[in-house]
Structure 1
Amino acid sequence: MRAVIQRVSHASVTVDNEITGSIGAGLVVLIGIHEDDDEEDAAYIVGKTTNLRIFSDDDGKFDLSALDTSAELLVISQFTLYGDTRRGRRPSFSHAMPPEPASDLFNRTLRLFEQTGLKVQTGRFQTHMEVSIHNDGPVTILIDSADRHRTRRG
């Protein structure tokens, strides 16, 4: 599972001219689900996302997490995070989980985010969305649940 996390001053998502989710200061979390992902991957992403210290303390240091600041979350499914561009000019999405099981795992991931006590908003699964993001920083972090199995260098 991959997550692109962006710290924002505010953000919203619109589907068919209807705002389906809107947040103030917090994080936009774009979630891509791999064909082999499961609830363990979801728990890893949720834990990392909510505990990352990417909010500034009074001294301007990154020392506070979403949980510390009661940040709001806008969580959006984005299968294109598994676009493979190694061949040709058109990305292949063959490693993204198929829609039905991906929808189920995405909803379970949303529930895990909600269990943190943070305000969680979302878009609509497998639908074209317009996402308005007002970056703060900008601060953008990529998390991949596959990294938890890799050894760290340096």
Structure 2
Amino acid sequence: MRALLQRVTSASVAVDGTVVGEIGPGLLILVCAMQGDGDEKPAQLAARIAKLRIFRDEAGKMNRSLRDSGGAALVVSQFTLAADTSRGNRPGFSTAAPPEEGRRLYEAFAAAMRAEGFETATGIFGAEMAVSLVNDGPVTIWLDL
């Protein structure tokens, strides 16, 4: 699985003008299931994110995890994270998991974030979504598992 994490002070996702998920401080997690991802990947990714120390401590250093900070997660599916731009001018997405597998792994990842103990909001898989965020830092981290 591939994820793009953005540390935020707030984030929301809307479908057809209606907010379907929103959080205060925490992480906006854009996530893409890749071809060949096994059933273990969502829990592995959630565990990795839970421990990643990218939040400020009292000294202002990135030394605290999402768990330490008490933050929430907004999980949004984004198959375009699988974009291959190595040839031509139009990206290819053939390395993304097929839609039904992608949906299953996306939902498993959101459930794994909840199982890690985080308040977790989501977008709607496959929908046209408008994502709003206030990036904190800015801090943006790319993860590939």
Aligned to 1:3: 3
Aligned to 1:76: 76
Aligned to 2:64: 64
Name the CA distance, whole Å, in 2 between partners of 1:64 and 1:39.
Answer: 28
SS at match of 2:40: helix
- Does residue 141 in structure 1 map to residue 141 in structure 2? yes
Aligned to 2:23: 23
Name the CA distance, whole Å, in 2 between partners of 1:45 and 1:90.
Answer: 29
After TM superposition, give the deviation of residue 43 of structure 1 in Å.
1.9
Name the CA distance, whole Å, in 1 between partners of 2:2 and 2:98.
Answer: 15
Identity %: 44
After TM superposition, give the deviation of residue 33 of structure 1 in Å.
0.9
State how many pairs are aligned: 145
Residues 32, 102 of structure 2: 8 Å contact kept: no
After TM superposition, give the deviation of residue 44 of structure 1 in Å.
2.0
Name the CA distance, whole Å, in 1 between partners of 2:85 and 2:112.
Answer: 31
After TM superposition, give the deviation of residue 39 of structure 1 in Å.
2.3
After TM superposition, give the deviation of residue 40 of structure 1 in Å.
2.0
Residues 113, 120 of structure 2: 8 Å contact kept: yes
After TM superposition, give the deviation of residue 32 of structure 1 in Å.
1.0
After TM superposition, give the deviation of residue 70 of structure 1 in Å.
1.4
SS at match of 1:3: strand
Name the CA distance, whole Å, in 1 between partners of 2:119 and 2:107.
Answer: 15
Alpha-carbon RMSD: 0.8
Q: TM-score, normalised by structure 2?
A: 0.97
After TM superposition, give the deviation of residue 61 of structure 1 in Å.
1.2
> Could you list the per-position Cα deviations for residues 41-61 of structure 1 after superposition, in whole angstroms to 9, with x for gaps in the alignment?
212211111111111111111
Aligned to 2:112: 112
Aligned to 1:47: 47
Residues 47, 116 of structure 2: 8 Å contact kept: no
